[in-house]
Structure 1
Amino acid sequence: MLLAVHPKLPMRQKHLTKEFYLQTLGFEQVGSDAFPDYLMVRKDQIEIHFFVFTELDPAQNYGQVYIRTEQIEALYASLVDQNVSIHPAGALQRKPWGPKEFSLLDPDSNLLTFGEQM
């Protein structure tokens, strides 16, 4: 029986990734900083893991996560109010396949897409 999935995404600098997810997106850290090359964060029912990849070229990063959410309009508004940069092609909109979605990039250009089924 499958219970959950925790994607593992690349990061170049742990302190920048940690700051973005904890301070900007409101995640909490899971575990300790005892492992300098690994980071785990959690918010509500999701958890994302990160591994250090110092040679990562953000322009060539294809890391992506689709995060299902509720109350997407409120989430979007709160991020815009905090001046979080929304992906240029990722403004909140109803997609032809049904959900409302928006996207943003983290400091390493991992694409985070948030979606709510309508």
Structure 2
Amino acid sequence: MASQIVDSAWKVIPMFESRSIPLTVEFYTKKLGFELASVKPEDGESDLFFCSMFIGKKAEANFYFSKVTTENFKPSQAMVGLGTYELDEYYSYLKAQTGVQITEDIEDKPWGFRQFTIRDNDENLLTFFKFLEGGNPGEE
């Protein structure tokens, strides 16, 4: 019964922490090319406490960020699958951007991924990957 219910799952949205929502929005939109879906201020205040950003068709890679104080901050990590040709192009694009820290250069891994990792302005890690064999979803 449970397996039939969870078969309806259609998306995963990682939740990252941010020390500054405006700086996070700037980094993800201007450096990484993400689109801003929404930002939310705290009730009655102008300070932002939440944002949602995405890339991909139908916002398939969607990330939520919530503001936390520095002493409570915990970096997170996530993986984002890209198309066969786009991965290398995106890597070259990010390498040319100032302010983007690549922590792991692009390479083929023994587990069947070609991947690279960046660190965002809040020390969260994003690994972008493609499958080495069998094709990548969304390709014609």
TM-score if structure 2 supplies the norm length? 0.75
- Is the counterpart of residue 42 in structure 1 residue 54 in structure 2? yes
1:33 deviation in Å? 4.2
- Is the counterpart of residue 86 in structure 1 residue 102 in structure 2? yes
Q: Any idea what the Cα deviations from partners look like across 1:76-107, whole Å, max 9, x if unmatched?
A: 011112232211xx100000111101000011
Q: Any idea what the Cα deviations from partners look like across 1:22-43, whole Å, max 9, x if unmatched?
A: 1000111112444520010011
Whose strand proportion is higher, 1 or 2? 2
1:55 deviation in Å? 2.2
- Is the counterpart of residue 106 in structure 1 residue 125 in structure 2? no
Q: Percent identity?
A: 28
Which of these two proteins has the greater Rg computed from alpha carbons? Answer: 2
Tell me the SS of whatever aligns to 1:37: strand
Tell me the SS of whatever aligns to 1:109: coil
TM-score if structure 1 supplies the norm length? 0.88
Q: Which residue of 2 aligns with 1:31?
A: 38
Ranges in structure 1 where 5+ consecutive residues have no aligned partner: none
Q: How does 1:5-24 map to 2 (within 5 A)?
A: 5-24=12-31
Q: Any idea what the Cα deviations from partners look like across 1:33-82, whole Å, max 9, x if unmatched?
A: 44520010011121100001122577xx3400011111211110111122
Distance in 1, matches of 2:72 and 2:49, equals: 17
- Is the counterpart of residue 64 in structure 1 residue 77 in structure 2? yes
**C-alpha RMSD over aligned residues:** 1.6
Aligned length: 114
Ranges in structure 2 where 5+ consecutive residues have no aligned partner: 1-7, 43-47, 133-140
Amino acid corresponding to residue 78 of structure 2 in structure 1:
V
Q: Which is bigger in relative contact order (C-alpha 8 A, separation at least 6)?
A: 1
